[in-house]
């Protein structure tokens, strides 16, 4: 499908053009760059194309609030984070483990450290120094970057179609790695336009859905206006069998934050099934239900209920108002219902926030459409990696770990393909 002889646009030495193999990698995120590294290390010329003006924009954004590159928990626990796709992701991670990933970062002279939660961060917690060093090394290793090149599918002759601001032109290569990302934060480049391009070629793709996302709740105008942006700290959220401690934030539409992201896949699926999902919040997880009951029922004399809650239970501000918002005035004044709600406040979530706002996406190219080297069964020579595959994982470094590992696997697969007789 791809032939070196037809690569018209790359300024290379003519002898090299004939002898050396070349691979086009589309998508300069962590998955695509890892595939490019793998290939260039083995002497393959790599051309990386990306629609954006610069590489790794989502990777850099991931580094803004503290780049969480992987997780240091025991590997057996680590693997469980990929849920239903563990079977497909595990072989990828086995060839580029979280430990390999840390060592790879150390190879740039950047140390990593383990935070109190077990999350692994590069020193300084930023992505920019790592990306800078990585791009430098790739350029030195015969990786050629073509930014502002939007891939638009294939021409009839099988060449790749790219649009730039100036023109549209065809590119041929010996193999292709697609690492086009999921559908969240499209302003950073991954706009999921590839879904239609690959579906046209018969590739089986699971619909993209928001993952690690916030949810809509029908707040009253009063609550929304007063408490938007307020954090709910040191709470426990329970959905089904899963209990998580952490914090989240009241948004104008509902709720979001790390605690919610951790439960978001199950909540999203429940909303899909039954139209809504009820999340239970324990606002005082360190207190027993009995102690909360006793304090709520303690005689309050002429004091208002609000000052009673504040003085006996330390509940005030957003927590106290959330109780009133959810229970309504009548139930809020009922001590038995109030005490129960403090330990298990039911929040009705009515919709996940849109995909474009989510941290990541679920869905993508189904693993059944790929062989063991991440090559599309119906498009020989085309390998796929990263978030565009059909898997999801919570935040905590699991996303990047699988993106790197799948990029490594796709690069290895392309390398094997090049060496096929
Ligand atoms: C705010 C935020 C914080 C995050 N924090 C973390 C974190 O701390 N830890 C963690 O593990 N994960 C985190 N993630 C998730 C992580 O960044 C992504 O999972 C990861 O970047 C996906 O890598 P990828 O290479 O598959 O795709 P991307 O990084 O999305 O790269 C895809 C590339 O393909 C290009 N592209 C797409 N379509 C085309 C086209 N048609 N033509 C040419 N180029 C195209 C895009 O421009 C983009 O550069 C975070 C995400 C967000 C949004």
Ligand 1 center to 403 CA (angstroms) = 9
What per-residue confidence (pLDDT) applies to 63? Answer: 79
Contact 97, 72 (CB under 8 A): no
Q: How far is CA 270 from the centre of its chain?
A: 20
Contact 338, 327 (CB under 8 A): yes
Q: Nearest C-alpha to atom 41 of ligand 1 is from which residue?
A: 151
Ligand 1 center to 32 CA (angstroms) = 10
Give φ, ψ of 118 to 5 degrees. Answer: 95, -5
Q: Nearest C-alpha to atom 5 of ligand 1 is from which residue?
A: 62
How would DSSP label each residue in 185-253? SGGGS---THHHHHHHTT--EEEEEEES--EE----HHHHHHHTT-EEEEEEEEETTEEEEEEEEE-SS
C-beta neighbour count of 311 within 10 angstroms: 14
Ligand 1 center to 330 CA (angstroms) = 48
Token look-up 């029908």 returns 218
How far apart, in whole angstroms, are the C-alpha atoms of residue 130 and residue 119?
17
Contact 212, 360 (CB under 8 A): yes
Q: Is it the case that residue 11 has pLDDT exceeding 60?
A: no
381 pocket-lining for ligand 1 (C-beta < 6 Å): no
Which of 145, 151, 180, 358 most suits a substitution to test ligand 1, by most atoms within 8 Å of the C-beta? 180
Contact 290, 241 (CB under 8 A): no
Instruction: At 328, list the tokens.
Output: 């309504």
80-107 confidence digits (pLDDT tens): 999 999 999 999 999 999 999 999 999 9
351 versus 20: which is more confidently predicted?
Answer: 351
What per-residue confidence (pLDDT) applies to 421? Answer: 79
Instruction: At 235, list the tokens.
Output: 């709470």
Q: Is the dihedral of CA 411, 414, 416, 419 positive or negative?
A: negative
360 pocket-lining for ligand 1 (C-beta < 6 Å): yes
What per-residue confidence (pLDDT) applies to 135? Answer: 98
Ligand 1 center to 110 CA (angstroms) = 21
180 pocket-lining for ligand 1 (C-beta < 6 Å): yes
160 pocket-lining for ligand 1 (C-beta < 6 Å): no
Average pLDDT of the chain to the nearest whole number: 94
What per-residue confidence (pLDDT) applies to 10? Answer: 37
Contact 29, 360 (CB under 8 A): no
Ligand 1 center to 100 CA (angstroms) = 21
What per-residue confidence (pLDDT) applies to 100? Answer: 98
pTM value is: 0.93
**3 state DSSP class of 366:** coil
Pairing of strands 215-216, 175-178: unpaired
Which of 28, 29, 407 most suits a substitution to test ligand 1, by most atoms within 8 Å of the C-beta? 29
Of ligand 1's listed atoms, the one at least distance from the Cα of 188 is 47
How far apart, in whole angstroms, are the C-alpha atoms of residue 204 and residue 202?
6
Q: What are the residues facing 345 on neighbouring strands?
A: 281
211 pocket-lining for ligand 1 (C-beta < 6 Å): no
Q: Nearest C-alpha to atom 19 of ligand 1 is from which residue?
A: 399
What per-residue confidence (pLDDT) applies to 8? Answer: 35
Mean pLDDT value of segment 378-404? 97
Q: Is it the case that residue 289 has pLDDT exceeding 70?
A: yes
410 pocket-lining for ligand 1 (C-beta < 6 Å): no
Q: Is it the case that residue 7 has pLDDT exceeding 80?
A: no
221-241 confidence digits (pLDDT tens): 999 999 999 999 999 999 999
Q: Is the dihedral of CA 111, 41, 379, 196 positive or negative?
A: positive
């Amino acid at each position: 499908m791809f032939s070196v002889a037809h690569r018209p646009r790359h300024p290379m030495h003519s002898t090299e053009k004939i002898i050396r193999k070349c691979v086009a990698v589309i998508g300069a995120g962590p998955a695509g760059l890892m595939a490019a590294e793998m290939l260039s290390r083995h002497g393959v010329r790599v051309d990386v194309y990306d629609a954006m003006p610069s590489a790794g924009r989502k990777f850099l954004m991931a580094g803004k609030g503290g780049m969480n590159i992987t997780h240091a928990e025991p590997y057996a626990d680590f693997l469980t984070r990929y849920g239903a796709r563990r079977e497909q992701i595990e072989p990828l991670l086995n060839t580029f483990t979280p430990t390999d990933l840390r060592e790879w970062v150390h190879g740039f002279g950047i140390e990593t450290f383990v935070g109190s939660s077990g999350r692994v961060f590069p020193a300084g917690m930023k992505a920019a120094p790592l990306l800078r060093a990585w791009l430098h090394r790739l350029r030195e290793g015969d990786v050629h970057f073509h930014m502002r090149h939007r891939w638009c599918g294939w021409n009839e002759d099988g060449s790749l179609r790219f649009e730039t601001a100036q023109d549209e032109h065809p590119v041929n290569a010996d193999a292709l790695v697609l690492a086009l990302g999921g559908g969240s934060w499209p302003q950073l480049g991954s706009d999921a336009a590839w879904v239609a391009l690959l579906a046209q070629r018969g590739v089986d793709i699971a619909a993209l859905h928001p993952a690690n996302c916030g949810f809509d709740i029908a707040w009253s105008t009063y609550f929304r206006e007063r408490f938007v942006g307020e954090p709910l700290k040191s709470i426990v959220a329970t959905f089904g069998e899963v209990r998580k401690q952490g914090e989240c934030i009241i948004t104008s539409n509902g709720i979001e934050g790390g605690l919610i992201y951790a439960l978001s896949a199950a909540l999203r699926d429940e909303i899909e099934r039954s139209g809504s999902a009820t999340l239970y919040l324990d606002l005082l997880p360190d207190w027993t239900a009995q102690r909360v009951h006793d304090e709520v029922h303690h005689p309050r004399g002429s004091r208002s209920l609000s000052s009673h809650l504040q003085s006996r239970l330390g509940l005030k501000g957003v927590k106290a108002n959330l109780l009133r918002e959810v229970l309504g005035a009548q139930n809020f004044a009922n001590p038995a219902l109030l005490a129960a709600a403090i330990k298990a406040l039911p929040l009705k979530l009515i919709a996940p926030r849109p995909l474009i706002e989510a941290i990541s996406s679920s869905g993508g190219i189904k693993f059944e459409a790929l062989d063991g080297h991440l090559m599309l069964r119906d498009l020989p020579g085309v390998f796929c990696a990263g978030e565009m595959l059909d898997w999801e994982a919570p935040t905590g470094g699991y996303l990047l770990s699988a993106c790197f590992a799948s990029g490594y696997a796709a690069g290895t697969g392309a390398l094997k393909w090049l060496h096929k007789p």
